[in-house]
Chains A and B, each alone.
Chain A
Amino acid sequence: MARANTNKALMFGYRAYVAAFFVFLAAPLLAAGTFAFNDSLFPALPWQGFTLDWFFNDTEPKLGMFHDRRLLRGLYYSFVIAMMVSVLSVAVGTTNSFLFIRREFPFKNALYILMIVPLVIPGVILGISILVLASNVANSVYDRFEIEIDLLRPGIFLVVLGQFSFITTITTLVISARLRKFDSSLEEAALNLGAGRARVLRTITLPFLRPAMIAAGIVAFLVSFENFNTTLFLVGSESPLTITMYDRMAKVGSTPVLNAVSFFLMVGSGLLALISVAIQRPHPSE
C-alpha cells in the first residue's frame, strides 16, 4: 500500500489538517445559524439564552421571520422564480442532452463548447447583457409603436431568463451524463417488439432519465434560489429573498431575523441536496 510508506506523525498531521479544513468550512455557517436562537437584539456574543422568537414572534422589535411581510414576500418570489427556472432549464437541458449525445451535426464540438460557456461567464455580465438587450428591444418597440412591453423591463420574467441562461448548462451536463450511460439495446429491443418511437421514449428512455432530471431540477432550484449576481441587475419591484436580505443587511444592519432566515434556508437546501443525492444513487436492481 502506498500509504504505508508515510510515517505516522505525518499522517496525523494530515488528518489534523483535513479536520481543521472542515472546521473552517463549518464555522461561518454555524455562526449564521446559531445566532438565530440567541435571545438578543444583535447577532453577537454573549449568549443570552435560547429563544424561537426570531422565527415566530409577531411584534417589534423582535419580529420573527414568519411574521415579517417583506421577507415572506421575498421567499415567495424566490420560490416562484426558482420553480420556473428549474422547469424551463430541465426541459431545455433534456433536449440539449438528446441533441449532443444522440445526434451528429456540423460544428458539433464548437457548439458543445458554446453550450458550456454560460457557466464560466461572470454572473454580473450575464445580468447586464440581458438587461441591455431587453431594454434596447423594449425601447425601440416603444419608439416605433408606442407600445410598452412590461415583460422586457426589470422584473420576474427577466430574472428567470437571466438565471435560466446559465443554469441550463448545469442541467444539460447532469442529464447528459446519465443519457450517456443508457444502453441503447433496450430501445432497439422495444422497437423490435413493435413499439413506436414515441412510446419507446415515453416508456423506456424517459423513465431511465427521470432520476437525473429530478436531480437536475433540484440543483437548478437551489442555484436559482441562492443566485445574487445575475439577479441583482434584472430585479424589478418583486425582490427575491437574497436581494431582500442584502437590502436589509445594507440598510438596517444585521439582526437575528437574518440568522433565522439563514437557518431556514440552510436546513431547506440541505434537505433538497440530500434528496437529489439519494435520487441519483443507483438502485440495487439496476
Chain B
Amino acid sequence: MSQDTKRLSLILLFAPFALWIVLLILLPHIGMVVLSLREKVAPRVYEFGFGNYVDFMNEPIYWNTLMRTGSMSLLVTVLALLIGFPVAYYIAKIAGKRSRGALFLMCLIPLWVSDLIRAFGWILLLRETGVVSSLLVWSGMTDEGIEFLYNDVTVVVGLVYTVILFMIVPLVSTLDGMGDDMIEAGYNLGGNSLTVLRRIIIPYAMPGIVAGCIVVFMLTSGSYLTPILLGGKNSSWFTEQIYDQFITRFNWESGAAFGILLLAFTSLVVWLGLRLSGQSLANTVART
C-alpha cells in the first residue's frame, strides 16, 4: 500500500470515530458546561456566572440528595461485590464444565430484561397487595398486608438486583483466567482458605473487581427508574432532581449545573477508586 492510500484509509477510519465522539460526547458536554454557567437575570437575558452552582451550595436539599445518592451508590456497590463475588467464584472455579455455561447464561438473561420490567416485578412482589405480603397473611404470620415498598432498604435491594450482573460478568471473566494450580500452590505452601483468598485470588481478580465496581457505581448513581419506582416520589435520588429541573421546572441552566455536578462527583469517585486500587480504565472496563 502506498503512503498516500494508507493515509487516506486512516483518515476514513478516523472520521466516524471523530464525528461520534466530538458531536455526541464532547460538544454536548461542553455545551452543558456553558449552559450551566449562564445566569438568568431577566427573561431571555443571561449573564455569565456561577449562580447555578451557588444555588446548589445554598440549598441543603440538593446537596443532601447528591450525598445521599453517592453514599447509597457506594453501599450498593459494596453489597453487589460481597454478594456477587462468591457467585462469580462458584461459576468460574467450582461448577462443572457443563453447568458453568448454563449458570453464566442464567446470570445474563436478566441483563436483557429492561430495568422497567425488573422494577415492575419487584413492585408486584413487595407492595401491600403483593405476593410476599399475601403469602405472609395466608400463612398467618401477619393479620394485615405489609407494605414493603417505598423505603430505603427496598431501594437498595432493587438497585443491587439491577446492577449485580455487571459485577458478576467481569468477575467471572477474570477468575476464569486464573489457573487452579495457583490456588493449589497457595495451599501447598501452607496457606489456609482465608490467606489464599486474600493473597492470591483477590489480587488476581483485582481488574475484574475494579471494572465491576466502576460500572456498578456509575449505573447506580445514574439510575432513575429503580429508585423512583421502588422508593416512591420522595426517594430523593439525584437524577430525579435533574429531571425535575429540566422537565418540570424547565430550568435548563440549573439542570445542566446539576448534571455537571453528578458527572464530576461520580468521576471523582471512580478516579479515587482507580487510584486506590492501582488500576487504569483501559485495563479494567475495556477488557470486559
Identify the A interface with B (CB < 8 A).
1-3, 5-6, 14-15, 17-18, 21-22, 24-32, 35, 42-46, 91-92, 95-96, 98-99, 103, 105, 109, 111-126, 128-133, 136, 161, 164-165, 168, 173, 197, 222, 225-226, 228-229, 232-233, 242, 245-246, 249, 254, 258-259, 262, 265-266, 269-270, 272-274, 277
Contact = CB atoms under 8 A, between A and B. Distances in A.
Contacts of B50: none
Interface stretch (B58-66, B202-210, B255-263): B255-263
A276 B12 CA distance: 29
Given A226-B113, A226-B114, A246-B225, A130 B24 contact: yes
22 contacts: A18-B87, A22-B106, A25-B110, A28-B161, A29-B110, A32-B121, A45-B131, A46-B134, A99-B13, A115-B21, A116-B282, A116-B285, A118-B24, A121-B263, A125-B222, A129-B28, A132-B32, A226-B112, A228-B116, A233-B246, A242-B116, A265-B117
Contacts of A228: 114-116, 224-225
A164 B24 contact: yes
A118 B105 CA distance: 26
Given A1-B184, A115-B17, 16 more contacts: A92-B17, A95-B17, A96-B16, A120-B218, A122-B266, A124-B224, A124-B259, A124-B262, A130-B28, A132-B32, A133-B32, A197-B1, A225-B114, A229-B224, A259-B124, A265-B113
Contacts of B196: 2
A225 to B, nearest CB: 7
Contacts of A125: 32, 222, 259, 262-263
Interface residues of B, number: 84
A242 B114 contact: yes
A19 B184 CA distance: 26
A196 to B, nearest CB: 11
Given A95-B13, A225-B114, A246-B116, A28 B124 contact: yes
B23 to A, nearest CB: 8
Interface string B4-48: 000000101110110011001101110110010000000000000
Contacts of A128: 32, 242, 246, 255-256, 259
Contacts of B148: none
B32 A129 contact: yes
A30 to B, nearest CB: 8
Given A92-B17, A173-B286, A254-B120, A24 B161 contact: yes
A161 B31 CA distance: 16
A225 B113 CA distance: 9
Nearest to B29: A129
B134 A232 contact: no
A24 B113 CA distance: 15
Secondary structure at the A interface, as helix, strand, loop or mixed, is helix
Contacts of A173: 286, 288
B53 interface: no
B94 interface: yes
Nearest to B94: A3
B143 interface: no
B223 interface: yes
Contacts of B134: 44-46
Contact of B10 (A92, A105, A197): A105
B124 A31 contact: yes
Nearest to B123: A254
B118 A232 contact: no
A30 B130 CA distance: 13
Interface string B41-79: 000000000000000000000000000000000000000
B108 interface: yes
